[in-house]
Amino acid sequence: METDEIARQLARLDAATGPAAERFDTGPAFAGRVAVLPSAFNPPTVAHFALLDAACADGGTRAAMLSTKNVAKTVHGASLSERVEMLLAAGEDVAVLAVNAARLADQGVALRAAFPGVAFDFVVGYDTLVRLFDRQYYGSMEEELAEFFAHHRVIAANRGDDTIEALLALLCEDPARQFADRVVAVEVHEGHATVSSSAAREAAGRGEHHETVPAGVAAYIRAHGLYR
């Protein structure tokens, strides 16, 4: 996909008056279950794709999804267009999406509107799972999450120092407990669970290749002088 078209699609998301989604890859139309990983992808790393692999261990389509808005971060480093292009350059068989909503609940609305009839599973790490059940992001959390979980499952994995045991313990506590039957816990290898995109950015800033960055992404970073 041309850079100008990516920019136009991202601009459409910004101009939309409600939750909306765009797709950037040229893969086949979605069918069945789709495991979608919302992340910053700044840059994409092998850990992102390993998490999607774990989520799709029993089959299904993998999708990487950016957001033009975020509840916890601002855009820095690579632009959103560059992040889309890095995902397309990664050499992975993944769909590439973007939405204009920060919360998972609103992202679900956007995906359902753009791709009716598709069953999307949201793939998250422990830190994102904690935010999903944080009341500060909701007007009426129980009602909004009930609507979200009526349409979506969440596939959650250990992240950093937060083990799979910590994740399972979280699901036994309120308010997560009432939705625990819609959350699938998966464990990823410690090496992938501790990968940080910031280390890859720092290496790129020194003109070095970080081992956690796929070859296609590393080539894009070098060609465009990102993170310098």
CATH of the domain at 53: 3.40.50.620
Output the pLDDT for position 164.
94
Tokens of 35: 């495991």
Residue 89 phi, psi (nearest 5): -85, -5
Q: Please state whether beta strands 119-125 and 153-157 pair in parallel, antiparallel, or not at all (unpaired).
A: parallel
Number of domains in the chain: 1
Other CB atoms within 10 A of residue 160 CB: 13
User: Could you report the per-residue pLDDT of 16-28, keeping only the tens digit for each?
Assistant: 999 999 999 999 9
- Domain span including residue 106: 3-224
8 Å CB contact between 226 and 197: no
Spans of the chain below 50 pLDDT: none
- CA geometry: angle 41, 47, 51, nearest 5 deg: 100
Output the pLDDT for position 209.
83
> What is the value of pTM for the model shown?
0.93
Write out the H or E segment, with its range, that includes residue 96: strand 95-99
DSSP-H helix ranges across the chain = 3-15, 46-55, 80-89, 104-114, 126-132, 141-151, 164-170, 190-193, 197-205, 215-224
Output the pLDDT for position 195.
65
